[in-house]
Amino acid sequence: MIETQTLWIVIIGLGAGSFFLRFVFLGLIGDRPIPDWILRHLRYTAVGFLPAIASPLVLMPPATDGQLDPARMAAGVVTLLVGYFSKSVLWAIFSGAVSLYGLLYLLG
């Protein structure tokens, strides 16, 4: 069990770090134009962030104790293909969810 003091130190530290990161962009350079090369890189933030969140859940799912699962792998492939061809995050997420739950129902 984590001590209360340690928990509050972590919470305050994470809050201060989060504030600092936002302040650097909004407080210090918020009124200046951002160069095109930075804007170009910022466009890819979601593209890099979403797969980083989803990949461990597809490759080592906690529901199967870290073992590969054909239903989750297939749902990941469906999500990737639908996202690539439709260029729509919502359609990709929806199709992945439907394929995952459909395959889990059929296989389980």
Q: What is the pTM of this model?
A: 0.61
pLDDT tens digits for 66-101?
Answer: 888 899 999 999 999 999 999 988 999 999 999 999
Which tokens is 72 given? 């989750």
Burial label, 96 (beta-carbon count in 10 A; 0-12, 13-18, 19+)? buried
Cα(93)–Cα(107) distance, integer angstroms: 21
pLDDT at 103 over 80: yes
CA 103, chain centre distance (Å):
23
